[in-house]
Amino acid sequence: MFLDGRTPPGGAALGADLAIIGAGAAGITLARALAGRGLKIALIESGGLEWSEAAADLGAGSLGEQHYGDLAYVRLRQFGGTTGHWGGWCRELDAIDFEPRDFVPLSGWPIAKSDLAPFYPEAQSILQLGPARYDDFAAVAAEAKAEAPIAPGGDMEAVLFEFSPPTRMGEVYRAELEQSDVAVWLNTTVSDIRLSDDLTTVTGLVLSRDGAPPLAMAVRHVVAACGGLSNPQLLLNADSQVAGGIGNAHDQVGRCFAEHPIVETFAAILALGPATGAPFAFRDTSVGNRRYRPAFQPSAAARRAKGRLSTLVTINEPGPAFDPATGGFDRWDEARLGPQATGAAIAALSGAGPLRLHYRSAGFETRPNPDSRVTLTAARDRFGGRRIKLDWRLSDADLDDYLANLEDLGRAFAAAGTAVIRIDPEARARYRADTSWGHHHMGTTRMGDDPRVSVCDGDGRVHGMANLWIAGSSLFTTPGAANPTLTIVALALRLADRLKKAFAP
């Protein structure tokens, strides 16, 4: 059932057994998982079925020194959330990503991958993926009749992403939710969270909407599933009874904001593959109706041995082509590839046929940094909520790990005779100016066993609160290097499982 918050049905007082705030990947997953159980579920979305400037404006904010996208547009406030423009990249986090590592301060999720593993298969299905084959590179390559680009067993390993169609959850699951017993409240913004007198239990939500006064909704349980920017915004703004906001007794809400820095032009490779210039490593491949993209990352053993963060390197579509007859490339970008004379000499040295240059894209893991954070500003949105400031901090140490991983990959390619690598000598100088991002907002209500350095426990429940839960990538204790959507959905399924127990008679 869909409701428009601007014209709600009159009559009975509003109430819900479970209020889910935010109808994105996490919120829709939760609602679907808990629908049909006799629970009164309200799925509350500040946007409508379509994107609107009015809804986007609620996400507007300011930035610190590090450049980033306009906060009004770096996620979608609409039914379906940011899956509406998601690229579809899927990969599970690795087991090591959950572990405490002495070379990563504040690392160590309160859950292991084995705790999440039972939920990944259903997450695959929800995102319209096949059975997980992320670490099955050799078999997939064989099925694609392609050669592995690096030798197995080394410091760098070849792995896979699988692409979701991508699943636009607002489209794919709209009809199902419309026909379910879930009440989907559109154009409705939660502007305050009301607590019991002892401040340990959420008793109600204040719902704001355009053109009408706020509504009060009584609740038994609440899940904030608004994403890594709006989850902390919601908690910090809910300060009508608790100074500093809910769950923020230790000033942790909004800290440890993590992104995946994306650096597409810091490195290039000259592919020495077949004359097609497109061996398996350097293009997507389809096996059956599944589409995979090869990626390269340091093995777990290498990460531990070298004290190294992870990196997932993928190879972009072919760039400049080298013609041995002319001894030059058909085009060139000196600012990003250095002098063409050197590139041409390197290509000529290979002694092979037509060669292609490719840029290499990579998202890399970063260390949790409490100073990288979301805070509130004095500016207010039209419902009176304070807007956020995102102060994303990039660390030279994280870049060093990325560059070291590239060096290792270059050695692996060279040893296999697959490619020659170029790493921009100016990478460090360019880091802050030329780094892009994955629109992955993580860590701002991180899970942990210690409330002094985390916001939620291993179930996603806000420390000190009986019935306030968080879903989404703001839970990530450390970000890993893989794109987060698959894990967001798996975590939401795990939370649904936990809530089923909470609601059990």
Kindly tell me the burial class for residue 371, based on how many C-beta atoms sit within 10 Å of its own C-beta (0-12, 13-18, 19 or more): exposed
Q: Which of 429, 449, 452, 466 binds other proteins (CB under 8 A)?
A: 429
Spatial separation of the C-alpha atoms in residues 128 and 131, rounded to whole Å: 10
Q: Which of 11, 153, 211, 351 binds other proteins (CB under 8 A)?
A: 351
247 SS3 class: coil
- Tell whether residue 424 is a contact of other proteins (CB under 8 A): yes
Spatial separation of the C-alpha atoms in residues 15 and 211, rounded to whole Å: 22
339 or 384, CB closer to other proteins?
339
Minimum CB separation of residue 394 from other proteins in Å reads: 20
422 or 494, CB closer to other proteins?
422
Q: Which of the stretches 65-73, 102-110, 123-131, 330-338 binds other proteins when contact is defined by CB under 8 A? A: 330-338
Report whether the peptide linkage leading into residue 368 is cis, meaning its omega lies within 30 degrees of zero.
no
- Tell whether residue 349 is a contact of other proteins (CB under 8 A): yes
Q: Which tokens sit at 317?
A: 């579509």
- Tell whether residue 53 is a contact of other proteins (CB under 8 A): no
Minimum CB separation of residue 341 from other proteins in Å reads: 6
165 or 417, CB closer to other proteins?
417
Q: Which tokens sit at 32?
A: 């679907």
- Tell whether residue 346 is a contact of other proteins (CB under 8 A): yes
Site size toward other proteins, by CB under 8 A: 28
Q: Which of the stretches 173-181, 231-239, 271-279, 404-412 binds other proteins when contact is defined by CB under 8 A? A: 404-412
Give 3-state DSSP helix, strand, coil % of the chain, rounded to 5: 30, 25, 45
Minimum CB separation of residue 300 from other proteins in Å reads: 20
Spatial separation of the C-alpha atoms in residues 425 and 422, rounded to whole Å: 9
| Cα–Cα distance list, 63 to 73, 74, 347, 373, 390 (Å) | 13, 12, 43, 10, 5
- Tell whether residue 345 is a contact of other proteins (CB under 8 A): yes
Q: Which of 341, 379, 397, 466 binds other proteins (CB under 8 A)?
A: 341
- Tell whether residue 342 is a contact of other proteins (CB under 8 A): yes
255 or 422, CB closer to other proteins?
422
- CA count, 13 A, side-chain hemisphere, 185: 29
> What one-character-per-residue DSSP string does 379-447 give?
EE-TTSPEEEEEE----HHHHHHHHHHHHHHHHHHHHHTSEEEEE-TTHHHHHHHH-EE-S--B-TT-B
125 or 342, CB closer to other proteins?
342
Q: Could you list the residues that contact other proteins (CB under 8 A)?
A: 334-335, 337-339, 341-346, 348-349, 351, 407, 410-411, 414-415, 417, 420-426, 429
